[in-house]
C-alpha cells in the first residue's frame, strides 16, 4: 500500500522517511501534516486503520480524513509547544 498526498520538494526527506516506515513494517497506518508560516507543505497518509475485521478491504485503507485517538501524542505536542514558547522568550 502506497503513500498518498502532497509534499513540497523542500521536504522530500519527510516523505521518504514516512514511506520507509511502511516499507519496514514500522507503521500499519499513519498520516502527517506540516505547516510552515500557515502554508500546508506536507500532507501525507498511508497504510490501513488496522481494522482487519472489516469485510470490505477498502474500508480499512487510511484516508486523508481518517479519525484516530491521539492519546499520548499530545504529550509530545505539548512539550514542543512549550519549547517553542521558551525559545521565543514567552515562557
pLDDT band of residue 52 (cuts 50, 70, 90) is: low
Cβ atoms within 10 Å of 31's Cβ, excluding its own: 19
pTM score, two decimals?
Answer: 0.74
- Per the model's pLDDT, the better-predicted residue between 23 and 69 turns out to be 23
Q: What is the mean pLDDT of the chain?
A: 90
Domain boundaries in the chain? 3-87
Q: Catalogue the long-range contacts made by 53-56 (C-beta closer than 8 Å, 24 or more residues apart).
A: none
Amino acid at each position: 500500500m502506497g503513500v498518498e498526498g502532497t509534499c513540497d520538494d523542500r521536504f522530500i526527506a519527510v516523505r521518504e522517511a514516512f514511506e520507509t516506515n511502511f516499507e519496514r513494517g514500522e507503521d500499519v497506518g499513519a498520516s502527517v501534516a506540516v505547516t510552515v508560516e500557515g502554508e500546508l507543505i506536507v500532507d501525507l497518509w498511508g497504510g490501513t486503520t488496522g481494522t482487519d475485521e472489516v469485510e470490505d478491504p477498502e474500508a480499512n485503507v487510511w484516508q486523508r480524513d481518517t479519525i484516530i485517538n491521539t492519546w499520548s501524542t499530545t504529550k509530545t505536542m505539548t512539550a514542543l509547544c512549550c519549547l517553542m514558547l521558551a525559545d521565543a522568550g514567552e515562557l
